[in-house]
Amino acid sequence: MTTHFISSEIYRATGYGRNHPLGIARIGTVLTLCEQLGWLEPSGPDAYVESPTASLDEILKLHDPDYVAALRAGEEHGPVPPAIREKYRIGTMENPIFQGLFRRAATAVGGSVLAAKLAAEGGISYHPSGGTHHAMRDHASGFCYFNDPAFAVLTFLELGFERVLYVDLDAHHGDGVEAAFAGDERVFLISTHEENRWPNTGTLDERSTGNARNLPVPKGINDTEMNWLMAEAVLPLARRFDPQAVVITCGADPLAGDPLSTMALSNTCLWDAVMALAGLANSTVVLGGGGYNPWTVARCWTGLWGRISSRDIPETLPPESVALLESLECDLVDDEDREPHWTTTLADPVNEGPVRDRIREIAAAVLADA
Ligand SMILES: [Zn+2]
């Protein structure tokens, strides 16, 4: 199996600023942990690949030229005028303009395009800096500026793939990707997310133009429930579509300990879900997404690369990795809530529990004919 890890140093060099939920260390920690574990090879069948930056022409395939111009102008000329702020939702607390933003967002697009091109030859491309699934055609949303998951899907379509499955495991509804492919029967979209949480779309009965299924799960979902939903609803729906390629947004915010959701999955549960989905087609792109706890994000996405590239997940981490994890900070996670295993291991303890009736109702609803 050919696998590629795609990323860029730009994610270490630029950032949202300390007062933003994404102001925490994320991709930089993943890269360093993978280096420390000897999991990033400069060449060979599972090599690290530097992400290209998408050109303006590429970005305009899915984004409105006026919006893209406003984003560029915002970074170049400073404060965003109120009318622009309102129209494109940039220069706000939610979607701030920061130095390097345009190149960073364009690099996420370039990475997801390359991920699909490489995976189209057969294999799995891993691009954890991707997953900005809320971005809309003509405005920013939910910390996202350009919709790189939609670009991964689009790239497969442009290469001639006729059935592309998009699965969104992030704690929030993959609304931007759903919107991008409304009416396109070549794409089928499945999103699991926490119910009654921002952006409050993706309700159980919402199927876009018929090509989407949404599974809004109740608070506190455990591993047993997620495994059950995967086996009884997500995988059957996916197999029915018979995909030629799969794009997965694997946000780390469904994990126990994330400050922006109450989902309580272990990272092992998410890894198992991704690997089961990756087994459905010869070509798979795996992206990151949300995730607001620097310890659970880093361990999840490091271990996910371990699983994708068929490495053994170590029981304990080497001292330099423990030191790195101990050095992380996060204003949104209280010190007393920090779990000891967040700094010493990669795999979380499994969170087993009963399967609630609501979980069975969700499966029945999404499998039912319209
Ligand atoms: Zn999210």
CA of 142 to the centre of ligand 1 (A): 8
> What's the pLDDT tens digit per position in 39-52?
998 777 778 999 99
CA–centroid distance, 105 to ligand 1, in Å, is: 17
Say how many Å lie between the CA of residue 173 and the centre of ligand 1: 7
Count CB neighbours of 231 within 10 A. Answer: 12
Distance CA(191)–CA(173), nearest Å, equals 6
Position 85 confidence tier, pLDDT thresholds 50, 70, 90: very high
Question: What pLDDT does residue 3 have?
Answer: 96
Kindly report the CATH number that applies to the domain delimited by 3-53+102-367: 3.40.800.20
Tell which wins on pLDDT, 283 or 78.
283
Tell me the pLDDT tens digit for each residue of 145-177. 999 999 999 999 999 999 999 999 999 999 999
Average pLDDT of the segment spanning 191-210 = 98
What does the H/E/C string look like for the chain? CCEEEEECCHHHHCCCCCCCHHHCCCHHHHHHHHHHCCCCECCCCCEEEECCCCCHHHHCCCCCHHHHHHHHHHHHHCCCCHHHHHHHCCCCCCCCCCCCHHHHHHHHHHHHHHHHHHHHCCEEEEECCCCCCCCECCECECCECCCHHHHHHHHHHHCCCCCEEEEECCCCCCHHHHHHCCCCCCEEEEEEEECCCCCCCCCCCCCCCCCEEEEEECCCCCHHHHHHHHHHHHHHHHHHHCCCEEEEECCCCCECCCCCCCCCECHHHHHHHHHHHHCCCCEEEEECCCCCCHHHHHHHHHHHHHHHCCCCCCCCCCHHHHHHHHCCCCCCCCHHHCCHHHCCCCCCCCCCCCCCHHHHHHHHHHHCCC
Q: Which residue has the tokens 């409304």?
A: 182
Kindly calculate the radius of gyration of the chain based on its CA atoms and give it in whole angstroms.
Answer: 19
Structure-block tokens of residue 42: 């400069």
* CA of 160 relative to ligand 1 center, distance in Å: 30
Indicate which residues carry an active-site annotation. 134
**Nearest in space to 159 (alpha carbons), one of 271, 289, 285:** 285
For residue 191, pLDDT beyond 80: yes
**CA 132 – ligand 1 centroid, Å:** 9
Note the pLDDT tens digit of each residue in 307-336. Answer: 999 999 999 999 999 999 999 999 999 999
Q: Structure tokens of 104?
A: 């960073």
Question: Is the pLDDT at 19 greater than 90, yes or no?
Answer: no
Find all residues with CB under 8 Å of 236, minimum gap 6, and list them: 367
Q: How far is the CA of 288 from the centre of ligand 1 (A)?
A: 10
Task: Give the pLDDT band of residue 13 (cuts 50, 70, 90).
Answer: confident
156 Cα–ligand 1 center, Å: 24
The rounded Å distance from CA 308 to ligand 1 centre is 22
pTM for the full predicted model = 0.98
Instruction: Output phi, psi for 60, to 5 deg.
Output: -75, -5
pLDDT of 370 higher than 80: no
Residue 17's pLDDT is: 84
Residue 22 has pLDDT above 80, yes or no: yes
How far does the centroid of ligand 1 lie from the alpha carbon of residue 244, in Å? Answer: 26
The count of other CB atoms within 10 Å of the CB of residue 361 is 12
Q: How far, in Å, from the CA of 147 to the mean position of ligand 1? A: 14
Output the CA 199–ligand 1 centroid distance in Å: 10
* pLDDT of 198: 97
